[in-house]
């Protein structure tokens, strides 16, 4: 079975209700391939979750940008479930760095979120120094192993490969480089988690992509979609969603 294309939008800390409503309006008016073809999930800041959930078209879904373990946590999976928020983004490079989150901590958070009924976009990725030293796969392996040790069912997990060195910098990963990284990552999954998991789990690209570059990235056989930052708050996000058509070609 083919992996359904997945496009996620991470709106970071854009908390203006006026701006959020404008983004949602653009999404609601867009003509895009059906949910059977592409799955679209947007991650507004926590303060806007309920607003976006209420206004957003029903075939798109909403994700929280983070959560913690335990009912008394600032933002817990239990809280998100009560709010009817189906997805959460975990392990983003900024939070790993700012909160000093270890691989094990991220693994715990993924497992707990899944156990409460959430679906998870789990982020992994290497720094420029790690890539230049040839450590990319060992870094991705360590980050993913910490998740694999805590879960057995991967049906509700999407893996987002975030090359940290290609986010918000002048360095850009080419589609060929993204494909190479995704291929090697999927190979590691097959050898260390299981062939069925590797074949069915979506690995999306979380490096820099926009409306002008998305089609070439989408053509790559092991790139199953995108986790988009700044461009997800612009009209070009629609073009990124529509890049799923490259899979058919």
The alpha-helical segments, DSSP class H, found in the chain are 17-29, 49-55, 77-82, 93-98, 103-115, 128-132, 136-148, 175-192, 195-200, 214-218, 236-242, 245-248
Beta bridge mates, 8: 41, 227
Q: Give the 3-state secondary structure percentages of the chain, helix then strand then coil, rounded to 5.
A: 45, 15, 40
Q: Could you list the pLDDT tens digit for every one of the 249 residues in the chain?
A: 589 999 999 998 866 889 999 999 999 999 999 999 999 999 999 999 999 999 999 999 999 999 999 767 889 999 999 999 999 999 998 889 888 999 999 999 999 999 999 999 999 999 989 999 999 999 999 999 999 999 999 999 999 999 988 776 667 789 999 999 999 999 999 999 999 999 999 999 999 999 999 999 999 999 999 999 999 999 999 999 999 999 865
pTM of this prediction? 0.96
Place of tokens 């996620």: 8
Q: What is the mean pLDDT of the chain?
A: 94
- Find out whether 140 and 177 touch, Cβ atoms under 8 Å: no
- Find out whether 43 and 64 touch, Cβ atoms under 8 Å: yes
- What does the pLDDT look like over 210-225, one tens digit per residue? 999 999 999 999 999 9
Give Cα separations from 32 to 86, 142, 230 (angstroms).
21, 37, 20
- Find out whether 38 and 2 touch, Cβ atoms under 8 Å: no
Q: How many CA atoms lie within 13 A of 33 on its CB side?
A: 19
């Amino acid at each position: 079975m083919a992996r359904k294309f997945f496009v996620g939008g991470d709106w970071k800390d854009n908390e203006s209700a006026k701006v959020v409503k404008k983004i949602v309006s653009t999404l609601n008016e867009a003509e895009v391939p059906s949910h059977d073809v592409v799955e679209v999930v947007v991650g507004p800041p926590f303060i806007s979750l309920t607003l976006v959930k209420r206004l957003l078209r029903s075939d798109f879904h909403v994700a929280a940008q983070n959560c913690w373990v335990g009912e008394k946590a600032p933002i817990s999976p239990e809280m998100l479930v009560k709010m009817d928020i189906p997805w959460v983004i975990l392990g983003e490079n900024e939070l790993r760095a700012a909160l000093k989150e270890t691989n094990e901590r991220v693994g715990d958070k993924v497992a707990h979120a899944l156990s409460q009924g959430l679906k998870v976009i789990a982020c992994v990725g290497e720094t420029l120094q790690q890539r230049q030293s040839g450590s990319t796969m060992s870094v991705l392996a360590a980050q993913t192993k910490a998740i694999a040790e805590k879960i057995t069912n991967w049906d509700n997990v999407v893996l987002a490969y975030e090359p940290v060195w290609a986010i918000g910098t002048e360095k850009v990963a080419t589609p060929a480089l993204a494909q190479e990284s995704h291929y090697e990552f999927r190979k590691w999954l097959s050898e260390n988690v299981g062939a069925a998991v590797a074949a069915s789990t979506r690995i999306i690209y979380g490096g820099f992509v926009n409306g002008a570059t998305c089609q070439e990235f989408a053509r790559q056989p092991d790139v199953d979609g995108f986790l988009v930052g700044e461009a997800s708050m612009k009209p070009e996000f629609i073009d990124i969603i529509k890049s799923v058509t490259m899979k058919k070609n």
